[in-house]
Chains A and B, each alone.
Chain A
Amino acid sequence: EVQLVESGGGLAIPGQSLRISCSTSGFIFGDYGMSWFRQAPGEGLEWIGLVRAKASGGTAEYAASVKGRFTLSRDESKGIAYLHLNSLNIEDTAVYYCARVLYSDFWSGSQYFDYWGQGTLVTVSS
């Protein structure tokens, strides 16, 4: 059974950093890209970024809204994807989700997300 479990959310003061983990099981982690999303209270879904599968170079791509502040990484030996949140501000308060990536068109990068974690809440407040 495919499972994704986020951890590491919590309360942060503006300017601080946090690291969220997405622990996976039930599939070959190295074969899949992992994407991250967030959902502010009462709002819709926002894509944050993607860290590609090892076979695709393991490179990362980011939404313009977080580029330069957030960093994605992955540990192939542990099957864990990480989201590093730096220079947090109040607008970063949200539930953060990780999800497994599938491609509807690999060459264009058109993708969708078949399994999601349960989410972890990050609250940024002074």
Chain B
Amino acid sequence: QSVLTQPPSVSGAPGQRVTISCTGSSSNIGAGYDVHWYQQFPGSAPRLLIYSNNNRPSGVPDRFSGSKSGTSASLVISGLQPEDEAGYYCQSYDTSLSGPVVFGGGTWLPVL
């Protein structure tokens, strides 16, 4: 049971806009802590995709964006590409015994 809740899977077709949600609680996202997102291809290490809610590291395409509100955060992929087929994880800081670093369970995104 992950501290942050993500849908196990979302899907989309090339060119579509896809949103992946990440729901937390008052001990993590709701307490104001930043949310970060990682992309992971099968058999590979995670890659930082979005940091501090809505910032893209150098090299990440601008079709990836993030937002945070209340106890939730979202990753949006605009103009889905076949190469975006991957797993996506949200991560935050948590003040409960589950922390301090907590992840969502991950969302698999097949590009149809």
State the A residues within 8 Å of B (CB).
35, 44-47, 50, 61, 63-64, 97, 99, 102, 104-105, 108-119
Contact = CB atoms under 8 A, between A and B. Distances in A.
Contacts of A64: 97-98
A25 B48 CA distance: 18
Interface string B45-76: 11110011000010000000000000000000
B106 interface: yes
B34 A105 contact: yes
A44 B45 contact: no
A41 B76 CA distance: 27
B104 interface: yes
19 contacts: A44-B89, A44-B105, A45-B103, A45-B106, A61-B100, A64-B97, A99-B46, A104-B34, A104-B51, A104-B93, A109-B100, A111-B93, A111-B100, A113-B38, A113-B48, A114-B57, A115-B48, A116-B45, A118-B45
A85 B100 CA distance: 20
Contact of A114 (B48, B101, B104, B105): B48
Nearest to B31: A108
A99 B51 CA distance: 15
A97 B34 contact: no
Contacts of B48: 112-116
Contacts of A104: 33-34, 36, 51-52, 93
Nearest to A101: B101
Nearest to A6: B45
B102 interface: yes
B91 A112 contact: yes
B26 interface: no
B106 A112 contact: no
Contacts of A50: 101
